[in-house]
Amino acid sequence: MARYTLSRLGQLILVLVGVSIVVFFTMHVLPGDVATLLLGERATEAQLTQLRHQLGLDQPVWLQYLQFAAQAVRGELGVSLRSNHAALADVWTAFPVTFQLALTSLILATGIGVPLGVLAGTKPNGWLDNIVLTATLFGVSMPIFWLGLMLLLLFGAWLEWLPIGGLMPTGVDVPRITGMTVLDSLIAGRADLLWISLRYLTLPAVALASIPLAMITRITRSEMLATASLDHVRTARAKGMPERLVIVRHILRNALIPVVTVIGLQLGLLLSGAVLTETIFALPGLGRLMVDSILSRDYPVVQAGALFIAFVFVLVNLLVDLCYALLDPRIRRA
C-alpha cells in the first residue's frame, strides 16, 4: 500500500507539471496586452515598455515559465496584477466558498442518489424504477444555468421562500474561521447565522447537485443490477439468507466500488465546474475569480488557481483509490 501511495503521489507531481505548462502557455498566447490593460489605452510606449520589463513580459516565454516553475517549487506563485496580493492568497480566500458549495452539492447528490439507485436496482422495471430513470434523464439533460434561473424565479422571486443570491444578507457577517459560512456558524455556536447561511446555500447547492445526483443514481442502479446476477449472490439466496442482508452484504458492497469512483470524480468536477452556479447566484468563489482573472489577463491568479484545482482533483482521486482497499479485500491483499 505504501509503494502504491508513493507511485500515485509521483503521478500527482507529473499532473501538476503538465497543468502548469498548459495553463502558462495558453495564457500567453491569448490576444491582448497585460500592460495596456493595467495602464490603459492612454499610456505611452515608454510606460508600457517599463511595465513589461517589471513584469518580466519582455523575456522569452520559455524563460518566463522556468522562472515561474522555480518560484512554484518554493511555494511562491506570484502576485496578482489586479489586487497586488499574493496569487495563492487570493485563491485560498475564494476556495472555501467553492468547496462549501461543491461539498454540499455532493452530499445532496450522494445522500439521495445512492438510496434511489438501490431501490430502483432491487426492483427493476417497476413503477419506482421507471420514475427514477425518467427523473434522472431530466437531471442529466437540464443545463445548470437554466435550472439555476428557474429555481431563482420560482423559490426566490415568486414564492419568496429563499434568497436569490450571495452568501449572507447585507450587514450580517459570520466570524471568518474557515471561510465556509455554515461551518463557521457551527464553530461560533450561532444557530441564527447557521439557519441564514443554509437558506442562502440551498438554491445554488440544489442547482449544482442536479447532474451528479442523476449520474450517481443511474450508476448505482446499473451496478446493483449487474452485481445481483453474480454467483455468490445466488449462493447466498440459496442458503436462505434474508434478502435485506443479501442486498447490503453481497450486492451493495460490491456495487459501491464504481459508485465511489464516480463520487470522487464528481467532487473534482464540482470544484472546477461551479463557475456558472457562482455567477448566477453571485457567490464570490474560485470559479468567478478564475473567470475574472482570465478576462483581465491576471496570469499569476489563473496559474495559481489552475494548479490548486488540479492538486485537489488528483488528491481526491488518490483518496478514492485508497478507499478501494476498504471496500474490496482482493485489492487490499494485492
Instruction: State the pLDDT at residue 53.
Output: 67
DSSP, collapsed to helix, strand or coil, labels residue 80 as coil
As a dihedral over the C-alpha atoms of residue 289, residue 291, residue 294, residue 297, rounded to 10 degrees, the angle is -50
Instruction: State the pLDDT at residue 107.
Output: 92
Instruction: State the pLDDT at residue 108.
Output: 92
Asked if residue 296 has pLDDT above 60, the reply is: yes
Mean pLDDT of the region 215-236: 82
Q: 86: which strand partners?
A: 79
Instruction: State the pLDDT at residue 273.
Output: 65
pLDDT digits (tens, 9 = 90+) for 184-221: 888 888 888 889 899 999 999 998 888 889 989 988 88
pLDDT digits (tens, 9 = 90+) for 3-40: 666 776 777 778 778 877 887 777 766 666 666 655 65
Backbone angles phi, psi at 3, to 5 degrees: -65, -40
Q: With bands split at pLDDT 50, 70 and 90, how would you rate the model's confidence at 47?
A: low
DSSP, collapsed to helix, strand or coil, labels residue 79 as strand
Nearest-5° angle of CA 18, CA 19, CA 23? Answer: 120
Q: Report the alpha-carbon distance of residue 174 to residue 161 in Å, rounded.
A: 22
Any long-range contacts for 249-254 (C-beta under 8 Å, 24+ apart)?
Answer: 251/122, 251/224, 251/227, 252/118, 252/224, 253/327, 254/223, 254/227, 254/230, 254/328
Half-sphere exposure of 321 (CA within 13 A, CB side): 14
Q: Report the alpha-carbon distance of residue 275 to residue 101 in Å, rounded.
A: 11
Which residues, 6+ apart, have CB-to-CB distance to 63 below 8 Å?
Answer: none
Residue from 213, 234, 253 nearest 104 by CA: 213
Instruction: State the pLDDT at residue 111.
Output: 92
Instruction: State the pLDDT at residue 112.
Output: 92
